[in-house]
Amino acid sequence: MIVPEAETPAFDVVTERVENVTSLLPLLAASRPLLFMRRGEGIAGLGEAARLEFRGPNRIRDAAATWQRIAAAATVRDEVGLSGSGLVAFGAFAFADDSAGASVLIVPRVVVGRRDGVSWVTRIDGADDPVAATELGPEYRVVLHPGALDADGYRAAVDAALARIRSGALEKVVLARDLTGHLPEGGDLRRVLVDLALGYPDTWTFCVDGLLGSSPETLVRVKDGSVTARVLAGSAGRGADAAADADAALGLATSTKDVDEHRFAVESVVDALRPHVRGVVASEIPYALKLPNLWHLATDIEAPLADGSSALDLVGALHPTAAVAGTPRDAALSLIAELEPFDRGRYGGPVGYVDGTGDGKWAIALRSAEVAADGTITACAGAGIVADSDPERELAETRMKFRPIAEAFA
């Protein structure tokens, strides 16, 4: 949905510094929180001043164009000037062009932020929503069960993908499977977010329109003309002790299968960014990124922006990367549609925020789940399939990747 120019809202936006906010999580709504945070710093949204929905292959491009007009029409008084202050929209986009699920940009009525020892509150059109901590709701436990693709079905899908790869049709495809559950009536989603934020502090803990999780992968960050991204592909479980853990990291770094999978992902990001930046800088050798439950091969990418693209423009250029789709992209997407008997929804899609200047931070919705209005929970996890893949190992990798979200609900 593109807002007609004649209907573009002219928001009045005021951002003021406030006394130090010690935690964003207790300030959130229990049922539909808005959050994008890492290491306790980030932004939280309260209420909705505007909700924009987009669908189809041009959903991100349409969102970027609509947001540009909304930002241009806004009057902003911002005494903070940090990332996340001023006019902000939270966003979450569907993975697939033909997904039944909507992609959204949500402008909160109130935004609370904290960064580098500074706290602030932004109010849209004089919104008087109170900014106050509330107690978490009662504890609950949700067990997630196999969805449309169980373990046997996933092994069979990997076998089918390997046959296609070995025939030369493509080099890599990321195949996901799903788990489902049901949130009890009145279940406080902040409990899940607290568990994720405490257990995985170095990831992006997010919640936008029922999509919540803790993603280790930065799709793109745009700030003051600089572009950064973090590419993750290739993973291994953590060892039971220090020696085993070091062996796991070394095994990952020297695994031909994982290094090849990672290379495809890095190349896809660099190729997508190249038309928009100057002098891309990326290390030739990936490093092992340590998370609480696994190791990832990681590469950080930096470049100066060359064409004035907004964060949303670059999100549209990058999505989907080889880390969540495969190589070549079109062949991988076609095979995903053939072998996955479910709609990924926003799993693997961009999630984050954009501000009034076009800057923003976006992650890939991994280690995540979607909670529908009726309480249905759908979680997905995937693995990159290349010629050397083994179905049993790939199934085990999805189990590792389900752990953060499954344990947070349980």
* Cα three-residue angle 251-255-261, rounded to 5 degrees: 130
b/e burial code for range 75-84 (CB count within 10 A of at least 16 → b): ebebebebbb
Reported pTM: 0.91
Instruction: Delineate the domains of the chain, giving CATH numbers in brackets.
Output: 5-134+141-409 (3.60.120.10)
19-37 burial, b if ≥16 CB within 10 A, otherwise e? eebeebbebbbeebbbbbb
Note the pLDDT of residue 283.
74
Q: Angle 256-273/311-318 helices, nearest 10 degrees?
A: 130
- Which entry of 7, 79, 139, 217 is annotated as an active-site residue? 217
Classify each residue of 185-199 as buried b or exposed e, where b means 16 or more C-beta atoms within 10 Å of its C-beta. Answer: eebbbbbbbbbbbeb
User: For the packed helices 190-199 and 391-409, what is the interaxial angle rounded to 10 degrees?
Assistant: 120
Q: 295 vs 199, 255, 286, 373, CA distance in Å?
A: 15, 13, 12, 34
Active site residue 172: yes
Whole-Å CA distances, 364 to 73, 173, 401: 29, 17, 14
Predicted pLDDT at 274: 87
Size (the chain), residues:
410
Which of 171, 172, 361, 370 is an active site residue?
172
Q: How far is Cα 328 from Cα 335, in angstroms, rounded to an integer?
A: 11
Structure tokens of 117?
A: 């020892």
Low-confidence ranges of the chain (pLDDT < 70): 1-6
> 360-364 and 204-208: which strand pairing?
unpaired
Q: 37 and 28 in contact (C-beta within 8 Å)?
A: no
Helix (H) or strand (E) holding 354: strand 350-355
Q: What is the pLDDT of residue 256?
A: 79
Find out whether the peptide bond into 304 is cis, omega within 30 degrees of 0.
no
Bridge partner list, 50: 107
List Cα–Cα distances, 210 to 18, 363, 369, in angstroms. Answer: 28, 16, 8
Q: Where are the beta strands (DSSP E) in 245-293?
A: 281-282, 287-290
CA angle 263, 266, 271 (to 5 degrees): 120
> Is-contact 84 355, C-beta < 8 A?
yes
CA distances from 22 to 118, 225, 257 (A): 10, 30, 44
Are 356 and 13 a contacting pair, CB within 8 Å? yes
Would you state the pLDDT for residue 11?
95
